[in-house]
Structure 1
Amino acid sequence: MTQGAGQGPVVRTATLRDFRVPPYAQVPVQGHSAYPQPQGAPVPEPPQRQPVAPPPAQQVPPAPHPGNAFPEEEFPDGYTPTERDLPVINRGDTLQVSVTPDAAPEPAPGVPGPGPGPLYVVGDVHGYLDELLVALREKGLVDADGHWTAGNTRLWFLGDFTDRGPDGIGVIDLVMRLSAEAAAAGGYCKALMGNHELLLLGAKRFGDTPVNSGAGTATFQAAWLLNGGQKNDMDRLQEVHLQWMSRLDAIVEQDGHLLLHSDTTAYLDYGATIEDVNDTVHSILTRHDADECWDLFRKLTKRFAFRDDGGADAVRELLAAYGGRRVVHGHSPIPYLLGEVGTEDADGEPVVPVVAGPHVYADGLAIAMDGGVTMAGRLLVQQLPLAD
């Protein structure tokens, strides 16, 4: 948040992220095999993005960029930087696919014609609209003004558009607009339901209504704030955003890739087929039952099912039910899956995570796409399939 002329210092209240597995997500999922959650102490806080001083009053501020973003180098009122906290397990048996940043934007990847265009996926955005626009431009999916330039390309967002970052509503506005522009060009831009969409919907609909969390009582409002909820997002949230989020699918299969947000087998609780899962999730959101919505949020906040012993079997369990040859997910940041957070170099300095690209693991059956943009990582946009 940037202070205006004549304003005093602004006090920022640090809030926790849901990078750790919260207590309400640790209740075992019934009906299929359970996979243990990781153990470990909280890790040191990585460097945070710092607000930049505003331009002098006599200067004309930069115009807002596409997606209803805030002016460059300026945080909106109500933006709260958040801390990081997640158990870390060092791993040496995983593979990270290197994706070298482009020196210049790529040519438009899709051209109108028969058959589907190339397939791209986008990891967790969490309100970082500037970073999203840069990543999309680097892949040739949008132009300098943020408009679709990718012809019949197919683009899937894997969920978690809001919270933690400064402009979650701007991200949703951009994705909604790109959906219309892509359809007009012969392609499409679609999105999946993330746990933070469920959290924002619940905070708006149910507020401080107590829910049965499985570990006592809780509220959506408290959980939303605890997990990086931003006041400026809530203030700008409109009915069109609520309707859009509530209609998102939870899981889809594309070209042999099973796309979903969370690295958990909890989707199996909601149906034996992709259609069943999506219909069940939509029905739950339609019924507006706080306890039922909380249980859905709790289960889709679980993580790490595909990591460690039994991880490949967990992926196979999902693939056997829903089809596909690989799972592609967001939710769990790659730096944590790789064990690169909380470590020190030879001089005792904290190691800053470097995310080169998607993370392939679980015997090559899972691809993680959350590049950790909220922890100075990278917002990933990747074409599928990846080379084996």
Structure 2
Amino acid sequence: MSIASGAPGTVGAVDVEDAPLYVVGDVHGHLDRLEAALRDQGLIDDEGAWTGGAARLWFLGDFTDRGPDGIGVVELAMRLAEEAAEVGGSARMLLGNHEILLLGVYFFGDHPVPVAGGATTFREIWLRNGGLQWDLDRFTHAQAQWLASQPVAAVVDGYLLIHSDSNAYLEYGSTIEDIDAEVADLLRDPEPLPCWDLFRNLTRRGAFMGDSGADAAADLLGELGGRHIVHGHTPIPYQTGEDPATISGPRVYAEGQVINLDGGIYLGGPCLVARLPLQERRTVVSGADDETLAMVYDIDDDPAYG
């Protein structure tokens, strides 16, 4: 069953360009708040049409689940990709764990998958992670093909863009090109268990926190390139213990090597859209770092997982 067309231009590192670079953190179905954040940056107008000109926009993944209109977010991203390209800009995305889970439940909904202590199904894990039947009912094969053709990592202007704060990407290759090509092959003719393993790997988190976090970040940058890692996946409030309503911008940590753009939107935090390089780097040091080092699954019945 082929679900990815291997669309050209979706794999590998991206050259530095003389155009503004914007990155979007996790959206989780909050379409209205995403549109408001993009408007604030001058990237779309009141009708949601692209106004960013030659700007480059990257979504870090997790479009769906936990919010009211995940498929609306997918539709917006697909349309902006076309509109931006028409005027010399670009709007692109990276796959997050929730995109992999959505593809899994779409194609293998009731197929059993292994978890600690037994087995469950893609559908059960999707529901436990905030999956909405409303989104699944609207999800089309064309949307599935588009999502499955997107990369999981890119280097842009010296920034290593990934969804998860994890080194699990190295399980799929030792270069950006190899990793994206391996994932594209996996999703082009998917089998249930490799798809499940990809989801599990992209749910890992916390690799760049704690005493060894800066070294882990430096190691990943040394392997894949770039000077700074930019990720989403782990809400900033989980890292710092802050009230989500007080989050006002990205978090810079791991001795300045890592930027977190997940404002915790489904917890009440902001939808973060940041222009890189950051004008003001917000660094928070908190003992909460160590609490997420062992997280593997993104499962909703445990409040520690986001």
TM-score range, shorter chain: 0.7 to 0.9
2:222 maps to what in 1? Answer: 320
Q: Note the residue ranges of structure 2 that are not aligned, 5 or more in a row.
A: 1-16, 282-306
Matched, 1:263 2:162: no
1:372 maps to what in 2? Answer: 264
Q: Would the alpha carbon gap of residues 214 and 273 (structure 1) be closer, same or farther in structure 2, given more than 3 Å must change?
A: farther
1:173 maps to what in 2? Answer: 75
Asked if 1 retains the 8 angstrom alpha-carbon contact of 2:244 and 2:267, the reply is no
2:187 maps to what in 1? Answer: 285
**How many Å separate the matches in 1 of 2:244 and 2:37?**
20
Matched, 1:227 2:119: no
- Pick from 91, 99, 107: which aligns with 1:197? 99
Q: Would the alpha carbon gap of residues 196 and 319 (structure 1) be closer, same or farther in structure 2, given more than 3 Å must change?
A: same
2:273 maps to what in 1? Answer: 381
Shift of 1:352: 5.5
**How many Å separate the matches in 2 of 1:296 and 1:119?**
28
Shift of 1:214: 5.9
Q: Which amino acid aligns with 1:385?
A: P
Matched, 1:355 2:257: no
Q: What TM-score does the superposition give when structure 1 sets the normalisation length?
A: 0.67
1:310 maps to what in 2? Answer: 212
**How many Å separate the matches in 1 of 2:132 and 2:235?**
20
**Which structure has the larger Rg?**
1
**How many Å separate the matches in 2 of 1:174 and 1:141?**
12
Shift of 1:261: 0.2
Q: Give RMSD over aligned pairs.
A: 1.2
Q: What TM-score does the superposition give when structure 2 sets the normalisation length?
A: 0.84
Q: Which amino acid aligns with 2:246?
A: V
Of all paired residues, the percent bearing the same amino acid is: 54
Q: Would the alpha carbon gap of residues 253 and 312 (structure 1) be closer, same or farther in structure 2, given more than 3 Å must change?
A: same
Q: Note the residue ranges of structure 1 that are not aligned, 5 or more in a row.
A: 1-114, 341-350
How many residues are matched?
A: 264
Q: Deviations over 1:150-171 (max 9, x none)?
A: 1100000000000010000001
**How many Å separate the matches in 1 of 2:267 and 2:237?**
9
Equivalent position SS for 1:208: coil
Matched, 1:211 2:113: yes
2:85 maps to what in 1? Answer: 183
**How many Å separate the matches in 1 of 2:244 and 2:57?**
30
Shift of 1:290: 0.7
Equivalent position SS for 2:135: helix
- Pick from 230, 233, 236: which aligns with 1:334? 236
**How many Å separate the matches in 2 of 1:158 and 1:116?**
21
**How many Å separate the matches in 2 of 1:179 and 1:131?**
19
Shift of 1:211: 2.0
1:35-50 alignment to 2 at 5 Å? Answer: none
Mean CA deviation greater in 287-296 or 153-162: 287-296
**How many Å separate the matches in 1 of 2:96 and 2:20?**
23
Shift of 1:289: 1.0
**How many Å separate the matches in 2 of 1:217 and 1:291?**
12
Q: Which amino acid aligns with 2:272?
A: L
